[in-house]
Amino acid sequence: MAGKVRNIVVEELVRTPVEMQQVELVERKGIGHPDSIADGIAEAVSRALSREYMKRYGIILHHNTDQVEVVGGRAYPQFGGGEVIKPIYILLSGRAVEMVDREFFPVHEVALKAAKDYLRKAVRHLDLEHHVVIDSRIGQGSVDLVGVFNKAKKNPIPLANDTSFGVGYAPPLSETERIVLETEKYLNSDEFKKKYPAVGEDIKVMGLRKGDEIDLTIAAAIVDSEVDNPPDDYMAVKEAIYEAAKEIVESHTERPTNIYVNTADDPKEGIYYITVTGTSAEAGDDGSVGRGNRVNGLITPNRHMSMEAAAGKNPVSHVGKIYNILSMLIANDIAEQVEGVEEVYVRILSQIGKPIDEPLVASVQIIPKKGYSIDVLQKPAYEIADEWLANITKIQKMILEDKINVF
């Protein structure tokens, strides 16, 4: 709302920019990693519930589905095709409104369908009938719809349902961050999978930059039914992964880069990273919401980060989701629109029960480029943050239109 005086603080940050630091670590857990599966299902369920609430009632009712557990199964992979002997167990929990004016809303049906639809797209070789069991234990809630509408009318800006903070930074990606993100995305793209269907979706990419040299370590689950001959077929797939990563690297940096693929393989001992389904969740690896990528798709220990699990939180009033996205958007706009910004970090803190457009503080910390003073950067940075806070409800629309990813 225009005219509000918000608690926005813009200050200079004195630290070495990431690209100039001697050591940089970056990680991305691919879409088939157990933690990413948990994130993806949690978010798919939240968005499905939100859309169905909107369709029936014209408003998104309260829910949080950010409690998803992936419990690893057991499999016997072998070249030419193995089997899953104990299915992966997926528990959906959290809370959602199930009774609306004494009318039943099918929370579990919507949630289970969303989870299955997501898994079909995310893990191609996963047989939903035999490889996985999905159990919905989402807790119940009830509302008086008239009361909800009256509350919304009285408070057009939602009230924060938690005291927590979100974090964002820009420029969005360093060279190493870009390489890690783009490598996983390409290896899990339709384009690459059509050429090499043996590459599963559980792909983890770890980047290390030490000085000017980058080490890229890739762990990629190979689908056993797509490779018949251990030495030849498997090694050909590994080589394809290497070449694809090399192409990504060369398009983003001139720094010398070492690329390693499935380093735990030991062909002499018959050890290869093969799976039946394309995810290590089949073999006892567990997953939980919030243990993986942040809202920008990466895990970046060289940057400020929030530990909030954004996936599955409701897009209306849960600042654990909204403020992480908002911080990223504010930081991006400041970096792009304000001349003289080397790096910018944004942290926004809510206070439970207060309007989400009035945070307890919105902290904007800027590393100025050489020759620029923080004095000339403060006003435009403040205005960008203030504008985004005034239009914070746009984020809900962006989420439901699938314009924003949260992991």
Q: What pLDDT was estimated at residue 5? A: 87
For 265, the token pair is 């393989």
**φ, ψ for residue 266 (rounded to 5)?**
-140, 85
Q: What is the mean pLDDT of residues 140-159?
A: 79
pTM of the model: 0.93
Q: What pLDDT was estimated at residue 3? A: 66
Q: Is 125 exposed, middle or buried (0-12, 13-18, 19+ CB in 10 A)?
A: buried
Task: Return the percentage of the chain with pLDDT > 70, whole number.
Answer: 99
> pLDDT grade, residue 303 (50/70/90)?
very high
Q: Average per-residue pLDDT in the chain? A: 94
Q: What pLDDT was estimated at residue 231? A: 82
* Confidence check: pLDDT of 1 > 60: no
Give CA separation, 378 vs 7, 339, 366, 375, 390, in Å: 14, 11, 9, 6, 18
> pLDDT grade, residue 198 (50/70/90)?
very high
Q: Which amino acid is at 248?
A: I
Q: What pLDDT was estimated at residue 239? A: 97
Q: What pLDDT was estimated at residue 10? A: 97
Strand, coil or helix: 23: strand
* Confidence check: pLDDT of 35 > 50: yes
Residue 301 φ/ψ region, left for φ over 0, alpha for ψ in the -120 to 50 degree band, beta for the rest = alpha
Neighbours of 33 (CB within 10 A): 28
Which tens digits make up the pLDDT trace of 249-274? 999 999 999 999 999 999 999 999 99
User: Can you tell me the distance from the alpha carbon of 320 to that of 323, in angstroms, rounded to the nearest whole number?
Assistant: 6
Q: What pLDDT was estimated at residue 147? A: 74
For residues 297-326, one letter each, b for 16 or more C-beta atoms within 10 angstroms of the residue's C-beta and e for the rest, the string is bbbbebbebbebbbbbbbbbbbbbbbbbbb
Neighbours of 350 (CB within 10 A): 26
Which DSSP letter does residue 292 get?
S
* Confidence check: pLDDT of 405 > 70: yes
